[in-house]
């Protein structure tokens, strides 16, 4: 067996290096194995027609088509001398005389700057849009049809994005470490820019364009002002040039104190005219180099970052100052609502609302307020943030986390689309029933045209981009939902699986099952019933419910779970912090009622006795024990399902996921054992006999340290 | 074996399809394009014969042969039922009855534990050795013959290594940063070990085995004691298991104060019995997990690292304490002579000699003293270290730098074999003429059987391993010279070029020219005529001859170049620091004489007037100006030669090298302009008219800062 393992390892090494290693993401373009569909595709795609004088974006679309058709169908896609039948025509009415001749403009008008249509006309497939980038998006959609083996006989598709700014946030530092990054280090090789363009930048842009992401914030929200100096802007410019054909705009994080740190001023007071002029000059300098620069993302007065409150000014004063500098150039400010006051609040969950709600109506029209999905911090499960719906005059930009800071980091399989959807589909009741978070974010509830959604990236230097292969599905799902939040998580999963693994049902189904159950599994073995923020201190790796006595209470675990002899949970009803009152009445009364509150949020809003009878009939303590155990069992199920695919999936990707599932299983048990032993010191009740005994003592778990856990 | 075939098939299918990105190093196994040679090879390699009960190492050899033969010749290498003609037979007399029947033992005996023979017997190619690892080394040698298109008709090769320990030193930290690393981050994914084995670990081991490297120190010499804790040793064990079949032993750096930091002791005094016991227990613990653990590399009492001198003990006391702990298990201590006292010396170059020479004869027999090639610190050019030859009773281990800390870091093409050879071939005169450094290191001068050579690795997470593609040639050359220091730099370069690029003369010749001129070019545009240590402060990126007033003088540039109105250079003759006296008389008198001292070392040993007449007839100032300019022109030549290969080399690798050469050109000009403007403030003389004017002022160059330069 040893020999065979060695042999296997060697081959695996080659296989990973040479064959499938995840680098190609969902753009693998492997041969279509369905014979009749392949024939249909080949028949329909004899040639293509695009403008002869191609813009860089149209050139990119044609290149992608050529590579894809060669891979999928094994044929060269030729340029048509003229449009006959079975020609793929792509372009705008302006660039393609043939498309102009089809007189589609009435149908094209509503598609705006980024939408597209894919339609069959006179035996030809037409990909048409009002802009080149619309054509590129349509091209990727068309290729997705082939990759997922859909018929292309009678196409009649139109698509427009729900949200205008669909942006990745990279928490990447200038030294290439990535805050909360678990996929290696930053893609941006700042030191060798501007002289060296890593080809990976192009594949990054391709991947984003393929799912409609149109912006990237290159730098960490915990910002370094140096990125705004000329030497770094030269580097940013090169990235912007590389990304431009793919419709991907570059944004930077702006450190509020930059005028002091790199500008030589004595203050960063937003009402100081020198400061205002400094930002205006800086914006002019940037746009002179990068005419389509997107704008600034700002974290101010939070976790030690400087901000307008340092000068007795409001967040609106700070945001508007930057907005005024960017406005002449068409740039925007994305101002984060994730704030921490210097004082310890009675309830951390209430702070963003308290700070921002009074400012509604005070922000300039090129400012978005960027709000995390929940009021604490990217927990495995949070109720939606009460700011959604609470600031009708202000564009509210959603901030999701794609990287898995609190969700198993680099090795846990957790498909996050259900988590995103749970938030987007939540009803704020801001304007009565049906006022979903999605309608707040897409601007339809309050008629905002400037809308946005951000995802904190899980991308790094690892060969497969996201460290865990299934991290790719979260990047993918984020992009797809940002474009079209009505898609279901299962639809998105199946698209991704078809493109990433196989179009065979016996592969699609088990992987869909794995993915759809995965997020709930993590919640169960980490933070069931609304528990939150009980991870290891600082790095957030592994369980740390015992974390206490840190320099601020709201960075400890005991602050959040409030376990005692009587029970567990944070009373956020009127008898406690009354955070529920930040929601609209219908929501507040539901969350505030012990009986009506969904059990998944129970301990988020209520301090509940250990003996409380759950809907299952079990007492809370026992229910919690079984829920932790259930999480572990769900990982075992995922392992079994994955194992069944051994002969269906290439060895390189199969083995890596298998290794990670094994780690996940071990860590799920660690979470279960550490949390139950710890909470047992309060409940004083036995852990049910049919739950496996912890392999170590509570003291052992409490003593574990991870000084080099990544992402910290 | 079905799985083997399936994997192999898939592997090879992808092998040709994917673009070249440098990942495959010199093990590309591209098809042999010489028709007659290919026929010869196919004819000779009908089948192979190896032991049926294969050891992991023999299995690895057979796997490598199979992959290589398939790639090179497009045929499957079959296992022979019995040895007929045209069979490749590999093994030892013990494992192969056929080899035993050839009665080769008399020829095999002198080959020792690692040597091998490759010989033609009765129409068969025989790869025979005394050990399995010898067979693996022989296999890689045989494959190199095919890769470089040598005839294999009548083989009669024997080979044994000159040096016993051929070791890479990774200055890798536990957070994955790499001190002086310019190829991304550390290969060792500590956080996901032991659960996840990155297949790259195997390819790393393969590459090392292919050039005879038999040891790897995983951690930085600026050590963290945590790597000696059980949690990390579990991770180290997994790496050792992966590397073992490839003959690659694992070593760790041992932090001298570990007994305090992780052992809970109050002291790390090497004469304290508790401390001694702690190290014995630690060694027992390690060997219990890793039976073939190599031993410790130690940096003590240098640049702030703790050491025996903290307790009034000597380096020998410290080394011997660890040696005693390792000795029962067969481990060694590699004790570095690169020391910095806390006091500022009159001449930094003299310190290692002063500290270590008196200790000769005091070290236990499993200690090697590891000495950098020169007495300062991996400068572009240094005279050989005076310790070589000065400690006849002690094994002197060579420490070369493969990573290019002072040699252009991540973007300059500098083939370092000529630099290694210059040192190895230098004559110490320790026992009269012909007492070369190589003879000191290989033990032949003083009859040492324990011998070693270390290279500070340039390997990281970048796709092509070394960041710069030509960095691979330095890894390769280090391994080849460690095995066989008699090889010429040009031979090694040509081998590498044939395997890395092509066997066509019109590719080999220009690349050989580029490589052979490259190190001298760097010396010319950075530190001509023996200048040294004038790089940017801390990160050592770019020129910094103006560095002064730091907290210790011997970390400044002015300390080393000593430029003033009268001249430039460090007087190390009897009228100065008299460092020359550390050399044996023949060398001391040559270096100490202004007339006899080679001009390449002139300013290393002498303070020379600006008007001094050089051998060229030019005055020193003018000669220096033209030498800097010559360096720039050499880079231009390299650019032109590389450009001529555009159609001969795949686009991916061609373009990357081209980009880096462009950066190198720009930086060579930066070095020239900054250094000449700065030194001109002392010489007061004009820069010759025919040298291009600096594009910026001296103040500009002095004001440049690089807070995020990598490797720092």
Of A6, A15, A666, the CB nearest to B56: A6
pLDDT of the residue at B665: 98
Copy the structure tokens of residue B169.
């030193």
Q: Does residue B633 lie within any of the structural domains?
A: yes
For residue A301, name the pLDDT band (cuts at 50, 70, 90): very high
Mean pLDDT confidence for A299-313: 94
Contacts of B706 in chain A (CB under 8 A): 191
Q: What is the pLDDT of residues B553-595, one digit of tens each?
A: 888 999 999 999 999 999 999 999 999 999 999 999 999 999 9
Q: Does residue A514 lie within any of the structural domains?
A: no
For residue A505, name the pLDDT band (cuts at 50, 70, 90): very high
* Closest chain A CA to residue B7: A11
Tally of domains within chain A: 3
Q: Does residue A125 lie within any of the structural domains?
A: yes
Residues A322 and A194 in one domain: yes
Residues B145 and B129 in one domain: yes
Q: Does residue A575 lie within any of the structural domains?
A: no
pLDDT of the residue at A5: 55
Q: Which residues contact A284 (CB under 8 A, 6 or more apart)?
A: A329
pLDDT of the residue at B646: 96
Contacts of A411 in chain B (CB under 8 A): 192, 195-196
Q: Is B175 a catalytic residue?
A: no
Residues A272 and A417 in one domain: yes
Q: Is the pLDDT of residue B6 over 90?
A: no
Residue A223, domain CATH: 3.20.20.80
Where is B656: in which H helix or E strand? helix B651-683
Question: Is A196 in Cβ contact with B60 (below 8 Å)?
Answer: no
Residues 421 through 450 of chain A touching chain B, CB cutoff 8 Å: none
Q: Which residues contact A579 (CB under 8 A, 6 or more apart)?
A: A347, A349, A350, A375, A386, A572, A605
Give a three-class secondary structure readout of B203-246.
Answer: HHHHHHHHCCCCEEECCCCCCCHHHHCHHHHHHHHHHHHHHHHH
Contact B675, B545 (CB under 8 A): yes
Q: Does A70 touch chain B (CB under 8 A)?
A: no
Question: Is A226 in Cβ contact with B707 (below 8 Å)?
Answer: yes
Q: What is the pLDDT of residues A348-375, one digit of tens each?
A: 999 999 999 999 999 999 999 999 999 9
Of A121, A140, A159, at which residue does a domain stop? Answer: A159
Mean pLDDT confidence for B79-87: 87
pLDDT of the residue at A118: 98
Beta bridge partners of A608: A568
Q: Does residue A515 lie within any of the structural domains?
A: no
* Closest chain B CA to residue A177: B177
Phi then psi for residue B345, to 5 deg, are: -80, 160
Q: What is the pLDDT of chain A when averaged over all its residues?
A: 95
**Nearest to B42, CA basis, from B77, B11, B84:** B77
**Nearest to B473, CA basis, from B449, B450, B492:** B492
* Closest chain A CA to residue B199: A13
Residues A492 and A557 in one domain: no
Q: Which residues contact A130 (CB under 8 A, 6 or more apart)?
A: A92, A93, A108, A109, A111, A112, A113, A115
Where is A608: in which H helix or E strand? strand A608-609
Tell me how far apart the alpha carbons of residues A396 and A372 are, in angstroms, rounded to a whole number: 10
Angle between helices A489-500 and A471-483 (to 10 degrees): 130
Angle at B519 between CA B222 and CA B348, to 5 degrees: 45
pLDDT of the residue at B304: 87
How many residues are present in chain A? 712
**Nearest to A554, CA basis, from A352, A397, A256:** A352
Q: What is the pLDDT of residues A607-617, one digit of tens each?
A: 999 999 999 99
**How distant is the Cα of B223 from the closest Cα of chain A, in angstroms?**
14
Residues 274 through 333 of chain A touching chain B, CB cutoff 8 Å: none
Q: What is the pLDDT of residues A23-61, one digit of tens each?
A: 999 999 999 999 999 999 999 998 999 988 899 999 999
pLDDT of the residue at B81: 83
* Residue B148 CB coordination number (10 Å): 16
Q: Does residue A577 lie within any of the structural domains?
A: no
Q: Does residue B5 lie within any of the structural domains?
A: no
The predicted complex's ipTM stands at 0.95
> Hey, of A11, A70, A180, which one would you mutate to test binding to chain B, going by the most B CBs within 10 A of its CB?
A11
Residues of A that are catalytic: 303, 377, 405
Question: Is A17 in Cβ contact with B24 (below 8 Å)?
Answer: yes
Of A2, A14, A175, the CB nearest to B11: A14
For residue B18, name the pLDDT band (cuts at 50, 70, 90): low
Q: What is the pLDDT of chain B when averaged over all its residues?
A: 95
pLDDT of the residue at A52: 81
Question: Is A709 in Cβ contact with B191 (below 8 Å)?
Answer: yes
Percent of chain B whose predicted confidence (pLDDT) is above 90? 94
| Domain hosting residue A661, numbered range | 523-570+607-703
Q: Is the pLDDT of residue B8 over 60?
A: no
Phi then psi for residue A585, to 5 deg, are: -50, -45
Q: What is the pLDDT of residues B145-190, one digit of tens each?
A: 999 999 999 999 999 999 999 999 999 999 999 999 999 999 999 9
Tokens 């196994």, residue located:
B29
pLDDT of the residue at A12: 47
Residue B87, domain CATH: 3.30.379.10
Of B159, B180, B209, at which residue does a domain stop? Answer: B159
Of A159, A177, A202, at which residue does a domain stop? Answer: A159
pLDDT of the residue at A552: 86
Phi then psi for residue B170, to 5 deg, are: -95, 120
DSSP per residue, B466-524: SSSTTHHHHHHHHHHHHH-TTS-HHHHHHHHHHHHT-S-HHHHHHHHHHHHHHHHHHHH
Q: Does residue A622 lie within any of the structural domains?
A: yes
Give CA separation, B537 vs A295, B543, B546, B547, in Å.
Answer: 35, 9, 10, 7
Q: What is the pLDDT of residues A165-193, one digit of tens each?
A: 999 999 999 999 999 999 999 999 999 99
For residue A18, name the pLDDT band (cuts at 50, 70, 90): low
Q: Which residues contact A65 (CB under 8 A, 6 or more apart)?
A: A48, A77, A88, A90, A139, A143
pLDDT of the residue at B552: 86
Q: Is the pLDDT of residue B7 over 80?
A: no
Residue A632, domain CATH: 3.90.1330.10
Of B184, B656, B666, the CB nearest to A461: B184
Q: Is the pLDDT of residue B9 over 50?
A: no
Residues A274 and A359 in one domain: yes
**How distant is the Cα of A256 from the closest Cα of chain B, in angstroms?**
20
Q: Is the pLDDT of residue A232 over 80?
A: yes
Residues B219 and B126 in one domain: no
Of B192, B226, B706, the CB nearest to A707: B226
> Hey, of A3, A12, A15, A18, which one would you mutate to test binding to chain B, going by the most B CBs within 10 A of its CB?
A18
For residue B15, name the pLDDT band (cuts at 50, 70, 90): very low
Query: Which of helix, strand or coil describes residue A369?
Result: strand
Angle between helices A132-147 and A200-210 (to 10 degrees): 80
Name the DSSP letter for residue B190: G
Of B175, B200, B666, the CB nearest to A708: B175
Q: Is the pLDDT of residue A544 over 60?
A: yes
Residues B193 and B288 in one domain: yes
Copy the structure tokens of residue A15.
């296989």
Give CA separation, A70 vs A31, A32, A75, A80, B703, in Å.
Answer: 9, 11, 5, 16, 52
Residues B143 and B255 in one domain: no
pTM of the shown model: 0.96
Q: Is the pLDDT of residue A378 over 50?
A: yes
Residues A543 and A395 in one domain: no
Query: Which of helix, strand or coil describes residue A389?
Result: coil
Residues 646 through 705 of chain A touching chain B, CB cutoff 8 Å: 650-652, 656, 659-660, 662-663, 666
Residues B351 and B438 in one domain: yes
Question: Is A9 in Cβ contact with B202 (below 8 Å)?
Answer: yes
Q: Does B5 touch chain A (CB under 8 A)?
A: no
Q: Does B538 touch chain A (CB under 8 A)?
A: no
Question: Is A710 in Cβ contact with B176 (below 8 Å)?
Answer: yes
Query: Which of the following is catalytic: B114, B132, B317, B405?
Result: B405
Of A16, A199, A659, the CB nearest to B195: A659
Q: Is the pLDDT of residue B276 over 80?
A: yes
Mean pLDDT confidence for B632-661: 97
**How distant is the Cα of A638 from the closest Cα of chain B, in angstroms?**
17
Residues B409 and B275 in one domain: yes
Residues A44 and A192 in one domain: no
Residues 190 through 249 of chain A touching chain B, CB cutoff 8 Å: 190-192, 195-197, 199, 226
CA B431 to chain centre: 27
Beta bridge partners of A159: A116
């Amino acid at each position: 067996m040893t020999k065979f393992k060695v042999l296997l390892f060697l081959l695996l090494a080659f296989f990973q290096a040479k064959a499938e290693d995840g680098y190609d993401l969902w753009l693998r373009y492997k041969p279509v194995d369905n014979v009749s569909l392949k024939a249909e595709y080949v028949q329909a795609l004899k040639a293509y027609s695009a403008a002869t004088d191609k813009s860089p974006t149209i050139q990119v679309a044609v290149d992608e088509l050529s590579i894809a058709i060669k891979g999928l169908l094994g044929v060269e896609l030729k340029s048509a001398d003229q449009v006959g039948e079975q020609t793929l025509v792509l372009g705008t009415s302006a660039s393609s005389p043939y498309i102009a001749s089809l007189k589609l403009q009435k149908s094209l008008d509503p598609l705006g700057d980024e939408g597209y249509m894919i339609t069959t006309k006179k035996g030809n497939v037409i990909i048409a849009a009002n802009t080149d980038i619309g054509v590129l998006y349509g091209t990727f959609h068309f290729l997705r049809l082939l990759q997922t083996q859909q018929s292309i006989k009678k196409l009649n598709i139109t698509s427009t994005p729900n949200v205008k700014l669909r942006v990745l946030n990279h928490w990447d530092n200038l030294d290439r470490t990535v805050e909360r990054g678990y996929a290696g280090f930053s893609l941006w090789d700042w030191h060798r820019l501007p002289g060296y363009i890593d080809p990976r930048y192009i594949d990054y842009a391709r991947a984003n364009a393929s799912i409609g992401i149109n912006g990237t914030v290159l730098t960490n929200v915990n910002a370094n002002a140096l990125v705004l100096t000329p030497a770094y802007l030269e580097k940013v410019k090169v990235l912007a040039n590389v990304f431009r054909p793919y419709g991907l705009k570059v944004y930077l994080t702006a450190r509020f104190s930059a005028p002091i740190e790199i500008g030589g001023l004595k203050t960063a007071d937003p009402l100081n005219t020198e400061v205002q002029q400094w930002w205006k000059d800086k914006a002019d300098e940037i746009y002179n180099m990068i005419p389509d620069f997107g704008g600034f993302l700002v974290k101010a007065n939070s976790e030690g970052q400087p901000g307008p409150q340092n000068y007795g000014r409001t967040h609106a004063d700070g945001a508007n100052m930057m907005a005024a500098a960017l406005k002449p150039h068409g740039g925007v400010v994305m101002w984060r609502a994730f704030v921490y006051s210097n004082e310890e609040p009675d309830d951390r969950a209430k702070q963003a609302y308290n700070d921002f709600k009074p400012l509604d109506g005070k922000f300039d029209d090129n400012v978005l307020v960027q709000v995390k999905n929940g009021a604490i911090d990217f927990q495995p499960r949070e109720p939606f943030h009460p700011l959604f719906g609470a600031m009708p005059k202000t564009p509210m930009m959603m901030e999701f986390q794609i990287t898995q800071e609190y969700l198993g980091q680099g090795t846990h399989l957790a498909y996050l689309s259900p988590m995103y959807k749970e938030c987007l589909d939540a009803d704020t009741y801001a304007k009565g029933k049906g006022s979903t978070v999605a309608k707040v974010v897409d601007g339809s509830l309050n008629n905002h045209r400037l809308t946005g959604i951000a995802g904190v990236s899980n991308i790094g230097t690892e060969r497969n981009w996201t460290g865990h292969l299934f991290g790719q599905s979260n990047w993918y799902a984020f992009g797809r939902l940002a474009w079209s939040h009505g898609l279901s998580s299962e639809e998105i999963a199946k698209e991704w699986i078809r493109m990433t693994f196989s179009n065979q049902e016996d592969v699609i189904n088990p992987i869909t099952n794995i993915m759809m159950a995965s997020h709930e599994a993590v919640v169960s073995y980490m933070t069931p019933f609304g528990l939150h923020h009980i991870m290891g201190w600082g790095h957030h790796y592994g369980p740390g419910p015992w974390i206490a006595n840190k320099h601020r209470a709201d960075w400890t675990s005991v602050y959040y779970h409030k376990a005692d002899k009587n029970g567990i949970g944070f009373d956020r009803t009127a008898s406690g912090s009354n955070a529920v009152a930040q929601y609209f009445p219908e929501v507040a009364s539901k969350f505030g009622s012990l009986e009506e509150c969904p059990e998944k949020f129970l301990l988020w809003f209520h301090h509940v006795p250990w003996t409380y009878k759950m809907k299952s009939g079990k007492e809370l303590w026992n229910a919690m024990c079984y829920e932790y155990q259930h999480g572990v069992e769900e990982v075992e199920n995922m392992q079994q399902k994955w194992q069944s695919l051994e002969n269906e999936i290439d060895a390189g990707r199969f083995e890596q996921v298998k290794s990670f599932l094994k780690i996940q299983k071990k860590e799920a048990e660690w979470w279960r054992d550490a949390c139950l032993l710890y909470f047992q010191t309060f409940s004083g009740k036995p852990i049910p006999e049919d739950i496996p005994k912890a392999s170590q003592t509570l003291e052992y778990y409490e003593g574990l340290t991870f000084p080099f856990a990544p992402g910290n």
